[in-house]
Amino acid sequence: MLTNREKEQILISSGVDVRKCMRCGKCTGTCPAYDEMEYHPHEFVYMVEKGEIEKLMNSSSIYKCLTCFACVERCPRGVEPAKIIEAVRLAVIRKQGNNHIKAEDIPCMAEDDDTPGQLVVSAFRKYKK
Amino acid sequence: MIFSYYPGCTLKTKAKELDAYARRSAEALGITLSELPEWQCCGGVYTTAEDEIATKLSSVRALMEAKKEGHALVTLCSACHNVIKQTQYALNTDDDMAFKVGNYMQCDARAEADTKVIHYLELLRDIVGFDELKKNVKNPLTGKKIAAYYGCLLLRPSSAMQFDNPENPKIMEDFIRAIGATPVIYPMRNECCGGYITAEDPAMAKKNSTAVWESAKDFDADYIITACPLCRYNLIKSESPLPVIYFTELLAEALDVK
Ligand code: SF4
Ligand code: SF4
Ligand code: SF4
Ligand code: SF4
């Protein structure tokens, strides 16, 4: 079981006030990762509020967010759901041995001659600690 | 007129043309881009977590370097621009962040990083002026129908970016008009191409990118322009039938410095 302390950590890390959410679903409606997500942006906000954090931490949804900021821009309440998703992902990958992408995954990308450095550093930043 | 310039790592490797055309065009418009003497990769994507400090420091250093040089800082890659602007916004709005960054850097980070940051497109709009740009065009791209692809990072979050209307931007369309071509407005121009997800889930990136070029194609564009190497890569990888080129290449062509 995750303690309240861990929920607190996600709230602090994200800087999000989950209580501001009015559950309109606009964030989820605008999310370009919708089809690939098991839990959607509004569910992240709700489930963190309820303390159902373990389910989120174990879901591949944390790796599907594109950091496109559409939900951040379009939420009528300024909740900024992407920040919650990022905080949950960090709570996972910050743990020893939990990198989602490893350096070995990179050589195959380097073979592809056009791969921009931007892709490699961005993926590392989002998936690896 | 001299500006400090942060090219970013990708413009030194896989996107050299984005950089070269930008520098040549700036010279032709009487603007000198002076590359920062020292800079590091911004990391490609902003970490929104408020307890992430180290990942923000390369941007803080770039801001401080430019401040020392005494010039506003020009960026070109959409991602660099986003990371640097969001970092500066966090410094300015989050006291705790400013304090912690200051501890790392041993300085008053907020004050020493308060450089003005503008994207190259803003340089064209606000410093050169699109009317003036138009007067300098030697080789107008008359008759070309061009779809501007903004993607996410130039526009959002608008609180930090302050770039253009995030839902109905016009800076790139005004640029297209200034070089004599015709802008194509299409629904997906400010939606996401998938970005870094191409490293994690290539099928997902392909789906998102395809939706972008299909939308541009439906509205009869001849080609798509972008400021972002990753947008370009994703659109090309998803087999866009429309050529995807950097806006600076068209600029150089119009100014006849290509
Ligand atoms: S858009 Fe904002 S208010 Fe609406 S559900 Fe999402 S987070 Fe809650
Ligand atoms: S930032 Fe993430 S969660 Fe928000 S809309 Fe984009 S992909 Fe969806
Ligand atoms: S955004 Fe890109 S190109 Fe720009 S410095 Fe950062 S990683 Fe490199
Ligand atoms: S459109 Fe694509 S590469 Fe461009 S900013 Fe969005 S995710 Fe990034």
Question: Would you state the structure tokens that stand for residue B2, as one six-digit string?
Answer: 């001299």
pLDDT tens digit sequence for B40-83: 899 899 999 999 999 999 999 999 999 999 999 999 999 999 99
Mean pLDDT to the nearest integer, A95-112: 71
Per-residue pLDDT, A116: 81
pLDDT tens digit sequence for B178-232: 999 999 999 999 999 999 998 889 999 999 999 999 999 999 999 999 999 999 9
User: Ligand 3 centroid to B37 CA: how many Å?
Assistant: 17
Per-residue pLDDT, A3: 67
Residue nearest to atom 2 of ligand 1 (CA): A75
Return the closest-CA partner of residue B87 out of B120, B69, B121, B64. Answer: B64
Which residues make Cβ contacts (< 8 Å) with residue A9, sequence separation at least 6? A87, A91
Residue nearest to atom 6 of ligand 2 (CA): A68
- Greater confidence, A22 or A102? A22
Q: Are residues A30 and A47 in the same domain?
A: yes
Report which residue type is found at A49.
E
Question: Would an 8 Å CB–CB cutoff place A123 in contact with chain B?
Answer: yes
Q: Does B199 contact A72 at a Cβ distance shorter than 8 Å?
A: no
User: Ligand 2 centroid to A31 CA: how many Å?
Assistant: 5
Q: Which residues of A touch B84 (CB under 8 A)?
A: none
Q: Does A68 contact B152 at a Cβ distance shorter than 8 Å?
A: yes
Per-residue pLDDT, B13: 77
Question: Would an 8 Å CB–CB cutoff place A46 in contact with chain B?
Answer: no
The CATH architecture assigned to B2-120 reads Up-down Bundle (1.20)
Q: Which of the four pLDDT bands, split at 50, 70 and 90, describes residue A117?
A: confident
Q: Are residues A93 and A36 in the same domain?
A: yes
Mean pLDDT to the nearest integer, A3-28: 93
Question: Would you state the structure tokens that stand for residue B6, as one six-digit string?
Answer: 């942060």
Taking 80 as the threshold, does the pLDDT of residue A43 lie above it? yes
User: Domain coordinates of chain B in residue numbers?
Assistant: 2-120, 138-255
- Beta strands in chain B, from DSSP E residues, in sequence order: 2-6, 32-35, 73-75, 117-119, 145-148, 182-184, 223-226, 244-246
Residue nearest to atom 4 of ligand 1 (CA): A24
Cβ proximity of B4 and B72 under 8 Å:
yes
Taking 60 as the threshold, does the pLDDT of residue B5 lie above it? yes
Q: Which residues of A touch B191 (CB under 8 A)?
A: 32, 68, 70
Strand partners for B147: B184, B224
- What rounded mean pLDDT belongs to chain B? 95
Phi, psi angles (nearest 5°) of residue B246 = -75, 145
User: Ligand 2 centroid to B92 CA: how many Å?
Assistant: 24
Q: Are residues A93 and A106 in the same domain?
A: no
CB pairs under 8 A between A and B: 137
Per-residue pLDDT, B219: 98
Q: Which of A22, A34, A47 to mutate to test the pocket of ligand 1 (most atoms within 8 A of CB)?
A: A22
Question: Would you state the structure tokens that stand for residue B21, as one six-digit string?
Answer: 């055309």
Return the closest-CA partner of residue B190 out of A105, A73, A19. Answer: A73
Q: What ipTM was assigned to the predicted interfaces of this complex?
A: 0.93
Nearest listed ligand to the Cα of residue B77: 3
Among A3-12, A39-48, A114-123, B122-131, the minimum mean pLDDT is found in A114-123
Per-residue pLDDT, A4: 82
Q: Are residues A108 and A85 in the same domain?
A: no
Q: Report DSSP letters for A1-21, one per residue.
A: ---HHHHHHHHHHH---GGG-
Mutate to test the interface with A, among B196, B201, B207 (most CBs of A within 10 A): B196
Residue/partner pairs of A27-30 with CB below 8 Å, 24 or more apart: A27/A70, A27/A71, A27/A74, A27/A75, A27/A79, A27/A81, A28/A71, A30/A70, A30/A71, A30/A74
- Burial zone of A95 (CB within 10 Å; 0-12 exposed, 13-18 middle, 19+ buried): exposed
- What rounded mean pLDDT belongs to chain A? 89
Q: Are residues A62 and A123 in the same domain?
A: no
Per-residue pLDDT, A111: 58
Question: Would an 8 Å CB–CB cutoff place A126 in contact with chain B?
Answer: yes
Q: Residue A31 is part of which domain span?
A: 5-98
Question: Would an 8 Å CB–CB cutoff place B46 in contact with chain A?
Answer: yes
Q: Does A36 contact B201 at a Cβ distance shorter than 8 Å?
A: yes
Return the closest-CA partner of residue A121 out of B9, B92, B174, B89. Answer: B9
Q: Which residues of B touch A72 (CB under 8 A)?
A: 156-157
Cα distance between residue A11 and residue A13, in whole Å: 6
Mean pLDDT to the nearest integer, B143-171: 97
Taking 80 as the threshold, does the pLDDT of residue B251 lie above it? yes
Nearest listed ligand to the Cα of residue A123: 3
Per-residue pLDDT, B161: 98
Q: Which of the four pLDDT bands, split at 50, 70 and 90, describes residue B4?
A: very high
CATH number at A36 reads 1.10.1060.10
Question: Would you give the distance in Å from CA B36 to the centre of its chain?
Answer: 17
User: Ligand 4 centroid to B145 CA: how many Å?
Assistant: 22
User: Ligand 2 centroid to B8 CA: how many Å?
Assistant: 25
Q: Which of the four pLDDT bands, split at 50, 70 and 90, describes residue B17?
A: confident
Q: Are residues A41 and A85 in the same domain?
A: yes
Per-residue pLDDT, A107: 55
Q: Are residues A89 and A107 in the same domain?
A: no
Which residues make Cβ contacts (< 8 Å) with residue B203, sequence separation at least 6? none
In chain A, the number of structural domains is: 2
Taking 80 as the threshold, does the pLDDT of residue B233 lie above it? yes
Ligand 4 proximity of B231 Cβ (cutoff 6 Å):
yes
- Hey, which residues 168-207 in chain B have their CB within 8 Å of chain A? 191-192, 194-201, 204, 207
Q: Are residues A30 and A91 in the same domain?
A: yes
Q: Does A68 contact B195 at a Cβ distance shorter than 8 Å?
A: yes
Which residues make Cβ contacts (< 8 Å) with residue B111, sequence separation at least 6? none
Nearest listed ligand to the Cα of residue A17: 1
Per-residue pLDDT, A100: 86
Mean pLDDT to the nearest integer, A72-76: 97
User: Ligand 1 centroid to B160 CA: how many Å?
Assistant: 20
Cβ proximity of A93 and A128 under 8 Å:
yes
Assigned fold of B138-255: Rossmann fold (3.40.50)
